[in-house]
Amino acid sequence: MTIAVEKVLYTARATAEGGRDGRTATDDGKLDVTVAPPKEMGGTGDGTNPEQLFAAGFASCFHSALKLVARKARQDSEGSTVTAEVGIGPINGGTGYGLEVALVVSLPGVERPVAEELVAKAHEVCPYSNATRGNIRFTLTVA
């Protein structure tokens, strides 16, 4: 199923030079990072990597969605956190690569059944969740 955006509210633009071993920067200059493969993939590990950037984006986006649904449900999201783990590895017998994502959500002031309901609703709201749903192995845990 393809998701169609009804109205684009914002467009981020970034340019990469050198792929996984180079530099990536946004057109507004707010993000400008050296990119290097991690040591686990034969690189130097001397820079960030696309998986770390994706994990940071997913965690931030999901946390915003969580705070939104918590506010609408009149639940306290103070002190909440979202940790994203993004794994990369071979697929199709090694002819390509794929990602998998695990999100761990902590809502310390909310009873577990309510927290689980809020997290499920956030998963429906979050653009990253919507973009990856059904495409990758994904786990969602309430800590």
Supply the pLDDT for residue 72. Answer: 98
Are 69 and 84 part of one and the same domain? Answer: yes
Are 30 and 99 part of one and the same domain? Answer: no
- Domain limit, last residue, from 48, 66, 87: 48
Supply the pLDDT for residue 21. Answer: 95
For 31, the domain range is 1-48
Are 59 and 44 part of one and the same domain? Answer: no
Are 86 and 122 part of one and the same domain? Answer: yes
Are 31 and 100 part of one and the same domain? Answer: no
73: helix, strand or coil: coil
Q: What is the CATH number of the domain that holds 124?
A: 3.30.300.20
Q: What is the CATH number of the domain that holds 30?
A: 2.20.25.10
HSE of 122 in the Cβ direction (CA atoms, 13 Å)? 32
Rounded distance, CA 19 to CA 90, Å? 18
Are 35 and 7 part of one and the same domain? Answer: yes
Are 17 and 63 part of one and the same domain? Answer: no
Counting beta carbons within 10 angstroms of the beta carbon of residue 105, is it exposed (0 to 12), middle (13 to 18) or buried (19 or more)? buried
Are 8 and 63 part of one and the same domain? Answer: no
The pLDDT tens digits of the residues spanning 1-39 come to 788 999 999 999 999 999 999 999 999 999 999 999 999
Span 116-138, mean pLDDT?
A: 96
For helices 50-72 and 112-125, angle between their N-to-C axes, nearest 10 degrees = 120
What is this structure's pTM? 0.94
Are 35 and 56 part of one and the same domain? Answer: no
Supply the pLDDT for residue 2. Answer: 85
Rounded distance, CA 112 to CA 108, Å? 9
| CA 129-133-139 angle, 5° bins | 75
The pLDDT tens digits of the residues spanning 52-109 come to 999 999 999 999 999 999 999 999 999 999 999 999 999 989 899 999 999 999 999 8
